[in-house]
Chain A
Amino acid sequence: MSLLLRGIVLLVALVTFTSAEHTSNWAVLVSTSRFWFNYRHLANVLSLYRTVKRLGIPDSQIILMLPDDMACNPRNAFPGTVYNNADRALDLYGDNIEVDYRGYEVTVENFIRLLTDRVGEDMPRSKRLLTDDRSNILVYMTGHGGNEFLKFQDAEEISAFDLADAFEQMWEKKRYHEMLFMIDTCQANTMYSKFYSPNILATGSSEMDQSSYSHHADNDVGVAVIDRYTYYNLDFLETQVREPSSKLTMGDLFDSYDEEKIHSHPGVRYDLFNGGESAARSRLVMDFFGNVQNVEVEGGVGNETAWQEELQAIERMINDVRRHNESLAALPEAEPAPAAKAARPSLNREGAARVNADGGWSKQLAGAAALLGCVGVWAAGSWLESSK
């Protein structure tokens, strides 16, 4: 009896454990600064892009937003490359990069539409965040910001309230399982202070009234190439998290932050996370930065018949489609229908109209005739009046 009970408890524990897992990983990497002197912000984002790609998140699950073109910028002495270190050991742009939103497309509106998936019907899949309630999302943002706001392209701002509401909408729409929000900007910690949705682990580079500083500059590139907070995050990710089987936890990452080196006080917000600080710190780094493909079989082994029925239904569907295709192939004479459709002329054809700029005599004669007619009418009127 007690054995059975223990077995049930174990089973329940197992079920809760598996249900707490995620089945896909997504990354939203956003730089919000335009112009060449903000090279480091694009380098920050591209460094993260390289890292999450290295740890297994495919390009189709990474949304990369780059507001300016640094690699092919005429000011770049190294065409087609972006470096995040003066030693120039790693070309971040590489040969295989897919930028989803670029240039003027990086706006607050597009970013919030991306998060909440309120997009037009023509939006291609590569520009959408197709997550579900089993997706872990890494949201990384960098740019210039201030107390509770982050500037986009020096033209508009997103506020901490907008971001908190967008995340709440994501939670209500079951668009994430757990989220890691990471931000590197001045006064970054104020950006996550307004969040109120569950299961968000947030970290930022600097406290209120603190700036976030760049790490170093490359004299040949001519500008600073990376920010301090991102540099030391990458330092941990690149030197400690060597392979996807790494068991390092988020706690290890947060403990690696050294305020002496970062020159600001990085913050972490645990209170929204389910299970609080201990649960959040025990999450693996790979839960957010890597791709884990856990397969979950719904319903267990109990419902075999329903599963068989579904298989049969799919088979029937395939057969129907095949029969339909064969019938189409057997009837090549079924063409007249579109031809009849084609015969119908499309009305009000839009487009440029032909302009006849003939300044010839005919027009001038017509004008003169019209003028003469007017004069005649006036003369006749005055003559009739005088003859009364």
Chain B
Amino acid sequence: MLSSLLAVSLCLLTSFVRAGSDYHERLLLRPLPQNALLASFNFRSNESSSSFERQNFRYFPRSLGQILQHANTKELHLRFSLGRWDAESWGARPWDGAREGGTGVELWAWVDAESEANAFARWLTLTNALSGLFCASLNFIDSTKTIRPVMTFKPEGNHPNMSSPNLHLLHGTLPHEVVCTENLTPFLKLLPCKGKAGISSLLDGHKLFDASWQTMSIDVRPVCNNDGSDCVIEMEQTVDMVLDLDRSKRPRDNPIPRPLPIEDIECDTSKSYNSQDSCFPLVKTSEPSWSLSEIFGRPIKGACPITGEEGENAETVCLNVPAERNVDIKTNGGYTEVPRGEGLLRCYKLPSRDDFDISLPEQTLPTPLLLPQPPLTAARSINGHGQERGSVQAVITNPSDYPVSLIYLESLPWFMKPYLHTLRASIPGAPASTNPIKETYYRPAVDRHRGTHLELLLEIPAHSSLILTYDFEKAILRYTEYPPDANRGFDVAPAVIRLLPSDGNPNAPPVFLRTTSLLLPLPTPDFSMPYNVIILTSTVMALGFGNIFNLLVRRFVAVDEIEGWQPGGLTGALRTRLDKLKARWFGKGEKDE
């Protein structure tokens, strides 16, 4: 019951965020089990498409707007992610996974162009421009990392010419890309309040990149009325992170965990070894205490002045805790608290100038926190051994009471070559005749030009798991194609899974899920090898050449064949004279005897 209430409250949240005005921001805070806290930031700005066309930017950032216009991009989705969402303990993903990406950087966009070649050229322009804007190596998204998904992604915006063949969807991932402060800096600069006021003042690289899981996303889409008029270009930026409360509360200058003195630990006295100096710490059942300034390092610095004054748009901070939980608000300014979602959600209107801090004391709650359960879980791994081939196994589990259809998308690097004929999908416990693969879209890799694109439409019955396997072969790279840290292995992009709505409603919000990325070990040479080869070759060459050269230009004769040859120069000549004399005298003497 409680969990369903919670789910309702989240839908409510997303729905009232969608109501129209030009700029919104909202922070949702939800404590998770195991001392974790989900902080979900959402920023949205609108620009009417006519003023966007004329480059009259108000809330939409000019830097990004001009890039989109230059590259003829109609819809853009950019993701920076780090870490893994622990669905077992944290439940369903925020935004149903629609605002997150695979580990590293993921980008997909609808580009308007008359031909495929033109679309790809504009895509390269886009990735290069974005790489400059976001300080990320997005320019590495070339033809080998670009695919054109068929079923997985649907445009979120309303495109008047959606059916025309001129709108091209391109998708690229960089699973190895690190996400760090230099990516957050430009992200904050796109916001109207630039991280100086409003909820964005909490965003700090030191905390964000210390999180157990974090994802930053940027979505740009045109949104129109039902009759296709009155279009606006909507930009949505989200930052979702799961903070470990204990970790975040450590001071920044002393973040290394040190053992507590034994007096401060609650010990399990039932253990036989429990004594003055040995202790088995008890697991705390109470909800931990925390406050915004403790975990983010600073309070919210007042409301962003351009957010709405009235109604739901003005309530920018929402706390998703049970009604029994005590909450203290620390601020000198005036604020308003509004209960929503049947008491499970408390929303606050921020004071306009003063600092605003939320503080929750340690408390034992009668009912534990109930979280919505994930509709699907997925795990993917590389099996096999050796340097030549391997296999991939993906296990997708449907815990729900009804069968689900899903789309599974893989974008593999060219040096990982799958054998499509080994693709098997099996459901343990199901009759052998059922084939869960309903549709297959496939584009094989071409060495050094493009990667493999595999897209499957799968169906999983209720309460069962699907095991998808295929074998692959590892290519041997050229010496110059190895990165400097080749021995680390090569990252393979996460698989993207989209859950299709059970009722077939095309307007239902999309549900996404991504597996973790894979690390593929490839045969790596000993990089001193070329030098060894060069040195050995040079030696062999020198020896061989020297001998042949000697044979060609020199004549070999015996010593006595040389006329007037005297070994050893002057002394040699003297010695021979001496020898001759000796031979004469002693030779005579011998004869005398």
Binding site for B on A (CB under 8 A): 34-35, 67, 69, 71-72, 77-81, 88, 91, 93-100, 102-105, 120, 122-127, 153-155, 220, 325, 339, 341-357
Contact = CB atoms under 8 A, between A and B. Distances in A.
A16 B125 CA distance: 44
Interface string B159-196: 00100111000000000111111100110000000000
Contacts of A345: 165
A80 B209 contact: yes
Given A34-B485, A325-B54, A346-B116, A95 B439 contact: no
Interface in B106-136: 114-116, 124-125, 128-129, 131-133, 135-136
Contacts of B261: none
A352 B182 contact: no
Looking at chain B, what size class is its interface with the partner chain? 35 or more
Given A98-B135, A344-B114, A354-B441, A34 B484 contact: yes
Given A120-B128, A341-B166, 18 more contacts: A69-B178, A71-B209, A72-B179, A80-B181, A95-B204, A97-B181, A97-B182, A97-B185, A99-B135, A104-B483, A155-B482, A220-B256, A344-B114, A345-B165, A348-B116, A352-B150, A352-B441, A353-B441
Contacts of B439: 354
A350 B116 contact: yes
Contacts of A120: 128
Contacts of A351: 147-148, 150, 443, 453
Given A93-B181, A103-B137, A72 B442 contact: no
Contacts of A124: 128-129, 131-133
B255 interface: yes
B137 A100 contact: no
B566 to A, nearest CB: 48
B210 A355 contact: no
A128 to B, nearest CB: 9
A342 B164 contact: yes
Interface in B202-233: 204-210
A338 to B, nearest CB: 8
Nearest to A97: B182
Most buried by B among A79, A99, A104, A343: A79
B560 interface: no
Contacts of A99: 135, 182
A364 B493 CA distance: 37
7 contacts: A104-B140, A104-B484, A122-B124, A122-B128, A342-B161, A352-B148, A352-B454
Nearest to A343: B164
Contact of A349 (B116, B135, B181): B116
Nearest to B151: A352
A78 B180 CA distance: 13
B205 A80 contact: yes
B322 to A, nearest CB: 31
A95 B185 contact: yes
A233 B125 CA distance: 40
B467 to A, nearest CB: 17
Nearest to A342: B164
Contacts of A155: 482-484, 527
**Residue of B132, B133, B441 contacting most chain A CB atoms (<10 Å):** B132
Nearest to A354: B441
A383 B164 CA distance: 61
A155 B440 CA distance: 41
Nearest to B208: A80
B47 interface: no
A355 B148 contact: no
B25 interface: no
A98 B182 contact: yes
Contacts of A356: 440
A71 B440 contact: no
Contacts of B527: 155
Given A96-B185, A102-B135, A102-B137, A352 B442 contact: yes
Nearest to A78: B255
A155 B252 CA distance: 35
Given A72-B178, A105-B137, A123-B128, A77 B441 contact: no
A95 B194 CA distance: 12
B441 A153 contact: no
Contacts of B140: 104-105
Given A98-B186, A122-B125, A350 B148 contact: yes
B455 interface: yes
Contacts of A98: 135, 182, 185-186
B358 interface: no
A81 B206 contact: yes
Contacts of B440: 354-357
A77 B256 CA distance: 6
B64 interface: no
A79 B206 contact: yes
A77 B255 contact: yes
Contacts of B441: 352-355
A355 B180 contact: no
B536 interface: no
A211 to B, nearest CB: 22
A103 B181 contact: no
B503 interface: no
B206 A80 contact: yes
Nearest to A71: B180
Nearest to B130: A124
A153 B256 contact: no
A346 B114 contact: yes
Interface in B430-462: 437, 439-443, 453-455
Contacts of B210: 79-80
Contacts of A71: 180-181, 205, 209
- Top 9 nearest A-B pairs by Cβ distance? A124-B132, A122-B128, A72-B180, A153-B484, A352-B441, A351-B148, A80-B206, A352-B443, A79-B210
B265 interface: no
Given A79-B206, A355-B420, A342 B150 contact: no
Nearest to B167: A342
B515 to A, nearest CB: 19
B253 interface: yes
B484 A346 contact: no
Given A80-B206, A105-B137, A341-B114, A349 B165 contact: yes
A103 B178 contact: yes
B421 to A, nearest CB: 9
A100 B135 contact: yes
B437 A69 contact: no
B50 to A, nearest CB: 9
Given A98-B186, A122-B124, A124-B133, A355 B165 contact: no
A342 B132 contact: no
Given A72-B209, A352-B443, A346 B165 contact: yes
Contacts of B150: 351-352
Nearest to B120: A350
Contacts of B437: 357
A104 B141 CA distance: 13
Contacts of A348: 116
Contacts of A35: 485
A103 B116 contact: no
A78 B206 CA distance: 8
Contacts of B82: 72
A80 B206 CA distance: 5
Contacts of B125: 122
Interface string B535-558: 000000000000000000000000
Interface in B473-521: 482-485
A98 B132 CA distance: 10
Contacts of A105: 137, 139-140
A72 to B, nearest CB: 4
A5 B422 CA distance: 93
Contacts of B252: 78, 81
A346 B166 contact: yes
Contacts of B454: 352
A80 B178 CA distance: 12
